[in-house]
Amino acid sequence: MSEFFNTGLSQQAFLDQYWQKKPLLIRQAFPDFESPITPEELAGFACQDDIESRLIEEHTNSGPWKCRHGPFSEDDFSELPESHWTLLVQDMDKHEPVLAHITRQFSFIPEWRRDDLMISYAPVGGSVGPHTDGYDVFLLQAKGTRRWQIGAEHILDTDLIDGLDLKILAEFNADESWDLEPGDMLYLPPHFAHHGVAMNDCMTFSIGFRAPTQTEVLDAYLQELAESVVGERHYSDPDLRLNVSETQIDGAAIARFKQSLIHTINHSDALLQSALGRLVTQTKPSLEWLADEYHTDDNTLSISAQFEAGAELQRNPYIRLAWTVAEQNIFLFVAGERLVVDPSYKAVVDILTGSSAIKGEQWRLLQQHEGAERVLSSLVEHGAWYWVSR
């Protein structure tokens, strides 16, 4: 069983003992780590129109905290003070391919749970304030030193500073304090208060995880239910008793409604599976335009002809893929859409949804399954894969 980042723990032991339970400091999780990207290169990404970025300043003329959203210009950076500010750039594992291998180190957690690698740069004193997150995060120190102060318990009810475009805790009491050097990493479960301050020029890589809210899950399920005959079923009360009040919705009626909803959810796992698969593979709105740049559905050659010509398929970094076994089929999910394929595809589904290139050798394996050209063509049309000539 694979070891978890030089800790002596197995990956499963980490999940059992720490995941969503308590923080863990890991010294030299990435030994001798050197950032593949410089602060100047990060600033260059923050100047691009289609990349999500923020600048957070502390102690400004307009108040104690100020948050601005990119894109930024060279003038924006030249006008910054010498200390107490932070630049954050989202989805850097997708924008810069050299960074993708870092998020793949967390492949023991399903890809649909992994969100992005956010990179922050800060001079001395730079911070985003004490706060909590509603998701798991690994904080890998990439350059310089950052001091992390951590609360010992997860907190759900938080008092925030009013009037800010940031969710900064009004009160924060630290129970632990650690200085992280390059290669050190801190794991934080959801809702643990934390405050990171740059001790010098530093960069931190934040590997965050997706955690849909109950509202998002229910909304996705309702959309799926609306397209199903199950959703057309009406309320029924064959056990109706004489009413005491003509206008009361009594406890028996509430119980029937509740049981009806439970029965609807239990009626078919396929509905819930379809809803969840579509939800967790939806493309972020901020990444949709970038994802579209990889579309290559205008090629007139067949799939087989392109492989025979030496081309290969590369995975679009901005498109999410997932799959599940559903009743008598397999559901493939791509960018919020669902494809239904034969159960035999379970043997090759990791080829269709993985990160490795699909070449002639993999195509020969796929061809052993009925409708392989249709399935792969559909994934290409949805933008999950794009052609590259060798």
* Local structure of residue 3 (DSSP, 8 states): B
- 44: Cα within 13 Å, side-chain hemisphere: 7
Query: What residue ranges do the domains of the chain occupy?
Result: 11-209, 285-389
Each residue's pLDDT tens digit, 156-186: 878 888 877 788 888 888 999 999 999 999 9
User: In the prediction, which pLDDT does 298 show?
Assistant: 57
Q: In terms of DSSP H, where are the helices of the chain?
A: 11-17, 39-46, 74-78, 92-95, 100-104, 214-226, 251-267, 269-280, 288-292, 303-308, 349-353, 360-366, 372-381
**2.60.40.790, 3.40.50.720, 3.40.50.300, 3.40.366.30: CATH of 285-389:** 3.40.366.30
Below-50 pLDDT ranges, the chain = none
Indicate the CATH number for domain 11-209. Answer: 2.60.120.650
Q: What is the pLDDT of residues 244-254, one digit of tens each?
A: 899 999 999 99
The whole-number pLDDT of residue 170 equals 85
Q: Say if residue 190 is preceded by a cis peptide, omega within 30 of 0.
A: no
CA–centroid distance for 324 within its chain: 18
For the chain, the straight-line distance linking the first and the last C-alpha, in angstroms and rounded, comes to: 36
